[in-house]
Chain A
């Protein structure tokens, strides 16, 4: 069984400030990890994913995340927030070797303050 915990359902940052969205996972096997973004009334868009290899993953729109096995974490960061980053972000996990059944966290709404 696998699960995802996102700490903080709402995060507010000032424009230009660091964005840090936290994600911890639980998985019985080495996981595949994802971050998705959802804009209001839209579907989910993949920001980045970790499967194997380098633990620091770079995604679109300047976001990156680091897989830390010892901490079972996959936190999402961006050095400088932009107004257009305001959205809801979902961390997700799937188990390799099977099909793409993804378990999502409950989401974090990011507010960017001008």
Chain B
């Protein structure tokens, strides 16, 4: 059973370009979470998605950031018109349907390290 797969592992974008980060959850997992880790900081929650639904996007910046988790395919975190401050590690986590009880471990991917130049 493969773990949470994120790609690319490293992504370099120039200011103003778009960044698309992909996350394939573990098999059988229907909940996906995105976190951002800025340098020298802990992980900050961004968004929680289930298939075709955004459940909680309270941690997402209001502009330029969007996320989706389609019926088929990976979850995508999209950052439009990137700026230097978007440089960070972006982690995806997934959990099975039982996570609604709040006591199920979320499994993390290895992250995508975005560098904006």
Contacts and interface: CB of A to CB of B under 8 A. Distances in A.
Interface in A15-60: 32, 34, 36, 41-46, 49, 51-52
Nearest to B104: A100
Interface residues of B, number: 29
Interface in B7-40: 31, 33, 35
Contacts of A99: 31, 48, 55-56, 99-100, 102
Interface size class of A (residues with CB under 8 A): 20 to 34
Nearest to B98: A100
Contacts of A106: 41-42
Contacts, number: 70
B95 interface: yes
Contacts of B100: 98-99
Contacts of B108: 36, 43-45
Given A99-B100, A100-B31, A44 B55 contact: no
